[in-house]
Amino acid sequence: MADVATTKLLENDKVIVWELVLEPGESTGVHTHEYDYMVHVIEGATLRASDGNGENVNDVPLKDNDTFYFSVSDGAALGGELETTATHDAKNMGPGRYREIMFEMK
């Protein structure tokens, strides 16, 4: 199973900070979120999210400076209008690079 993002920037007893960069056509690989997390989009794109089995596919357009908080519970990650499974994959479907900073709260 993959890490939740590309590069771990910081980890301490309270938080893990990640950078995620996906070039067009790249995917995160199937990964599982164990903690609540916040995502801040630096370079937006449309991500195709699917559960750990490659099912329940949704295209999610994310714009520069979008920020979302996801609560992880009972195998789901809920972020307001956005909902996914805690175990999922995301693929960059856009023509340009996707980049975000993610904060996992321990």
pLDDT value for 45? 98
* Side chain identity at residue 1, one-letter code: M
pLDDT at 1 over 80: no
Q: How far is CA 92 from CA 10, 14, 23, 87, 89, in A?
A: 24, 29, 7, 17, 10
What are the phi and psi torsion angles at 50 (to 5°)? -145, 155
Q: What domains can be seen in the chain, in order of their start residue?
A: 7-105 (2.60.120.10)
Whole-structure pTM over 0.85, yes or no?
yes
Tens-digit pLDDT profile for residues 21-80: 999 999 999 999 999 999 999 999 999 999 988 888 999 999 999 999 999 999 999 998
Strand 87-92 relative to strand 98-105, pairing:
unpaired
In this structure, the number of other CB atoms found within 10 A of the CB of residue 54 comes to 10
Residue 31 structure tokens: 């990964």
pLDDT value for 52? 83
